[in-house]
Amino acid sequence: MLRAMRAPDPFDLVILGGGPAGAAAATTAARLGLRTLVIDKARFPRDKLCGGLFTGRARGEYRRIFGRDLSPELFEERRAISFFLGPQPMGRMEGVPPMYLTRRFDLDAHLLEMAGAAGAEMRTGCRVAQIDLAANRLRLEDGTEARYRVLIGADGVTSSVARALFGRAFDPDTIGFALEKEMPPEPDPVIARTVRVDFGAADWGYGWSFPKRASTTVGVGGLQRLNPDMKARMHAYAALLDQGDAEGMKGHFLPFGDYRRRPGRGNVLLAGDAAGFVDPITGEGIAHALGSGRLAAEAAARAIREGRADEAAPLYRAATLDIRVALSTARILRPIVFSERMAPLFTRAFGGSTRVKQAYMRMLAGETDYPAVLWLVARRLPRAILRHLLLRRA
């Protein structure tokens, strides 16, 4: 007798996207005992346009999720940073909390490998053709299907899951855009161990030069709406650094201040860039991608365990409160850093203050948080405003 074909049992968790957010979610979920599937259109190792600056905050998440520390083969430690505003130096600091430089080509493959070792199943090199939220099912381009109890969209800034949930992945008025090129390694030994940040290289954005063993990652990025001439800015920045020309640069969107207040709905959650969880001043996204991926998997596990998969989103929203507070505080600080009218004040409050710069570096290291930095800046601002006004009158 012919037996009726039964659809395979659903996965507890399907994760679309195997970047840092997806790998963190998959590792956490597999360790919590969820039957987990990761789907990514790319085959790994694959590249992702990124400066590869891995902060102490990201390192904390990495240790917590993967249960090990950073290996020197993948991560180069840097303890010096210099800031510029146009051609004007704003200070160089030695002995700051460690930052790490990595290559996403290697990092993302390493993270996904750990997710596989934890027990997550992988479907890489496979695009999703259709997301059927009503039926809890994804149809893949190869004709197969994947059913889920909970779905995590960790599919980056152009997230198809965000589009299926909310109609679009991001708001073109608030999105960031960045250009980058790998330049030759830096020959000067002092510059070669110094992370460089240039405010003013883009409007409401900045330029960066991250010297690594094999290359120097040079880029400019900022709000796309205010930088229609980003390519010209990248050429100008490359000329300023005198590191090589910017021909062959590549571009990528990045969320820049417009994150999802409700990063999901029902049994569908958004993590990392798909939720807009990127720092709106520094453009740092890896730490929040790891953190939100972990939190999304934990919320999914709890909702499934309690038999209420459809309520994973409110659990996840509550769990991401700290991330959203950090991002909204950074948005309050952002005009002080980026607006042209505040530039003289910013030069005084930031450039003139080692304490503020140190607090900022400690925040990136995960040793303090954005509200503490905001408080410090707010305490200095009135004095800076006064001095600025007095100098203008003198």
Ligand X SMILES: Cc1cc2nc3c(=O)[nH]c(=O)nc-3n(C[C@H](O)[C@H](O)[C@H](O)COP(=O)(O)OP(=O)(O)OC[C@H]3O[C@@H](n4cnc5c(N)ncnc54)[C@H](O)[C@@H]3O)c2cc1C
Binding region for ligand X (CB under 6 A):
16-22, 39-42, 48-53, 127-128, 154-156, 160, 178, 180, 219, 221, 252, 254, 272-274, 278, 283-286, 289
Q: How far is the CB of 248 from ligand X (least distance, A)?
A: 14
Residue 17: alpha-carbon gap to chain centroid: 14
Are 322 and 292 in contact by the 8 Å Cβ rule? The answer is: no
d(CA 379, CA 268): 42
d(CA 6, CA 11): 15
With respect to ligand X, which residue has the nearer C-beta, 52 or 56? 52
Are 103 and 52 in contact by the 8 Å Cβ rule? The answer is: yes
Q: How far is the CB of 3 from ligand X (least distance, A)?
A: 33
Closest chain position to ligand X (CB)? 285
d(CA 94, CA 78): 9
Location of structure tokens 């039926």: 135
d(CA 199, CA 220): 10
In which region does residue 108 sit, left (phi positive, over 0), alpha (psi from -120 to 50) or beta (all else)? alpha
Q: How far is the CB of 16 from ligand X (least distance, A)?
A: 5
With respect to ligand X, which residue has the nearer C-beta, 278 or 313? 278
With respect to ligand X, which residue has the nearer C-beta, 52 or 116? 52
- What Rg value do the Cα atoms of the chain yield, rounded? 22
Q: How far is the CB of 96 from ligand X (least distance, A)?
A: 16
Q: How far is the CB of 344 from ligand X (least distance, A)?
A: 28
Q: How far is the CB of 155 from ligand X (least distance, A)?
A: 4
With respect to ligand X, which residue has the nearer C-beta, 284 or 345? 284
Q: How far is the CB of 393 from ligand X (least distance, A)?
A: 41
- Please report how many Cα atoms fall inside a 13 Å half-sphere around the Cα of residue 72, on the Cβ side: 2
Instruction: Read off the tokens for 12.
Output: 């507890």
With respect to ligand X, which residue has the nearer C-beta, 10 or 20? 20
Q: Is 264 exposed, middle or buried (0-12, 13-18, 19+ CB in 10 A)?
A: buried
With respect to ligand X, which residue has the nearer C-beta, 270 or 377? 270
Are 131 and 161 in contact by the 8 Å Cβ rule? The answer is: yes
Q: How far is the CB of 219 from ligand X (least distance, A)?
A: 5
- DSSP codes, 114-163: HHHHHT-EEEES--EEEEETTTTEEEETTS-EEEEEEEEE---TT-HHHH
With respect to ligand X, which residue has the nearer C-beta, 26 or 336? 26
Q: How far is the CB of 6 from ligand X (least distance, A)?
A: 26
With respect to ligand X, which residue has the nearer C-beta, 185 or 355? 185
Q: Which amino acid is at 29?
A: A
With respect to ligand X, which residue has the nearer C-beta, 51 or 264? 51
Q: How far is the CB of 30 from ligand X (least distance, A)?
A: 17
d(CA 366, CA 58): 8
**Nearest of 101, 24, 109, 17 to residue 62 by alpha carbon:** 24
- DSSP codes, 277-346: -S-TTT---HHHHHHHHHHHHHHHHHHHHTT-GGGHHHHHHHHTHHHHHHHHHHHHHHHHHH-GGGHHHH
With respect to ligand X, which residue has the nearer C-beta, 12 or 180? 180
